[in-house]
Each structure stands twice: as C-alpha cells, then as structure tokens.
Chain A
Amino acid sequence: MTLLALSCTLIFVFITMFVSFWKRLGLEKSIAIGSIRAAVQLLAIGYVLQYVFQTEHVAFIILIIAIMTVVATWNASRRGAGLKGVFWRIALTIGVMEAFMILFLIGLNLIEPTPQYIIPLSGMTIGNAMIVSGLFTTSIKREVEASRGEIETLLSLGASGTQAMQGPMKRAVKFSMIPTIDSLKTVGLVQLPGMMTGMIIAGADPVEAVRYQLLILFSHTGSAAMTSMILSMLYQKLFFTPDARLRKIERS
C-alpha cells in the first residue's frame, strides 16, 4: 500500500470529525488525538517489529511482551479504582495466561518459536486478557455493591467468605465472557476476524488463514475463561477485611 493511498483513508477520520462538529458532539479533539496516536503507535511498533524480526534476539521478545503486559494491566486495573491490590492481581493473571498460552502453542508445535509468531500472538492473548480482566473487575465491583444484602445474608447464616461470594463471582465471570462467547457464535456470519482478513489481503491461502483464525479463537476462548477464573480466585479476599467482614468499596 502506498503512502498516498494510506493518506486517503484519513477521509474517514475527517467524515467522523465533521459529523461530530455538525451534531455538536464535541468529539473532534478526541478523534484527532486518537487518530494521531493510533498512527504513531502502529508505525512505531511496525519499525520495532521489523528490527526484532531481523535480529531474532530473545531479550527483545521478552521486553516487548513485558511492555504489553504492563500497559494492559495498567489499563484494566483502572476499572478497579477503590480496590487495593488490583494491579498486581491482574498483572499476575495476564502474565500467567501469556506464559501458558505461548508455551502451550510452541510445545504442541502449533506455532514456530520465532518473534514473527510469538509477538503478534502474545499481543492478541494479552489484549484479550486485558479486556476480560477489565470487564470482570467492573462487573465484580458492581455485583458486590448490588449484592451486599445477599452476601451479608449468607454470612449471617454461617457461610464462609468464599461461599458468600459464589453468586456474585459466578455472575461476574459470565458477564466477562459475553464478548468472547458472542464472537465465537457469530464469527464468519457477522464478522470476518481481523487476523484472517489481514492474511487473506496479504495473499495467504484463505483455508490456511481460517486455520490460524480458529487457533486464535479457541485459544482466546480458553484464555478468557481462565483469566476470569484466576481473577475470581485472586479477588476473593479483596472484598473482605482480615476479620472476614464485608469491606465497603471506596468511591473512586
């Protein structure tokens, strides 16, 4: 794709800004900043990846994955404002998920152990875990606030903290899984996934592209379920005082 052709796609950004201006939505500045940031970030990562792919040095792979994990954790943990210790819990979950997924895929020879495979797949795995972590954190906070009566009723009946939190945790896990399950059900009918589309446009065999997409979809579904399950275990004590009273969540 030539730079001129790429520049032409800015028309879509201008259309969006025009609609915002016309309808007085006040989004022009955000759209402009967002578009510039997206372009700079993607171009930068393009050059970085080009260099890393050429050198194939393992330290660069680890560094990039570490940066991805920290940024994803920071973003998802903002949903947990008012809860202490959310950042480290999400970081641990994303780190464990990433290590498990990549080692699993390499171990089964599903991908080659090269930066070209590891970095994009890590990006997708970490991004997916970030979305699930953010949704789970938002949902469990809301559930605990809305279900204080239910939780304290169970505690009053002699339930342990884990037993009392079972209902809210179950509902939060289900909520965080909704986008993953929905995309699994509608993929190919409503949307052609980005990675598969990219491979086809780049000239790959569509069936080969589908195989990789299925790999991604299934691994994402597994990682989404595991992310929310791990978080539900790690979050258990966040909502209770050391002497097992239900904590009041500080307003952020």
Chain B
Amino acid sequence: MVLKAKVQRSIEIKNDALELGRVCRQILQDVTSDGFSEEEVFAIHLALEEVLVNALKHGNKNNSDKKINIEYNITKNKFEITVTDEGDGFEPEHVPDPRNDENLCKTSGRGMLLIRSYMDKVEYNEKGNSVLLVKNRAK
C-alpha cells in the first residue's frame, strides 16, 4: 500500500549558503510540526546540513550560477528527501573511510559517514549527483 504524503514539496534554489539555510529551516519546521521525535529531528538536521553543503561545495563547486533541486515528502512512516546538484557527480564507494587510522586526523571527509549513520537509507543515482535519504519514523 502506498501511503499518501502529508507534506510534499519540490524546491529549486540557487547554489547559495543562505538559501540552503532557509530551506533547511523550512524542512526542520515541517518534520518538527509533523511530530518527529527530538532524536529524529537531530538526525534529519545533521544529514541535511551535510548533504546540502556537499551539493553546494563539492557538487556545484560553489558556483553561484548553478542550482540545487530539493524534493521531499513526509508520510505517516517516514521522511524522504532527494537532493540533486548540477555537478559531474562522484563515486561514493571511493570516498575514504574517515575512521581509518590514516584518515583520523584529516580535517574533512566525515560528512558522508554521518549521513549514513543517521539515515535509514542513502541511495545515490548512477551519476552520483543526486542522493535519496530516508529517515523512518519510530514506531
């Protein structure tokens, strides 16, 4: 059975940190008012910050002419979001594990690990410029 989305939005924004902040706040307001727990909102917030900054910096290379597309919906059971940038994509399986001893003191490279740790599903498209994140609601 497909559950009807209680909230469903599609937003295209400029590749700009302030815009990302505004969208992030809107999404957090939606999940909070829809009754997600404090822990779930924390997890969604963290994953959102990481995935949006990845799109801004690594995907769109801080190019203000580029756009980021965000589609999300909230159902009775989960929060689901797809973030797509206009970059060339990347191969997520080739990102080094920041927990390995040789990477522990690197100043970057932890975003994807956090996204995977806090979300229930993380799925990239073949090109690697679009990612689907799912956070299930606690039963």
Task: Decide whether A and B are members of one complex.
Answer: no
Residues in A lying within 8 Å of B, measured CB to CB: none
Residues in B lying within 8 Å of A, measured CB to CB: none
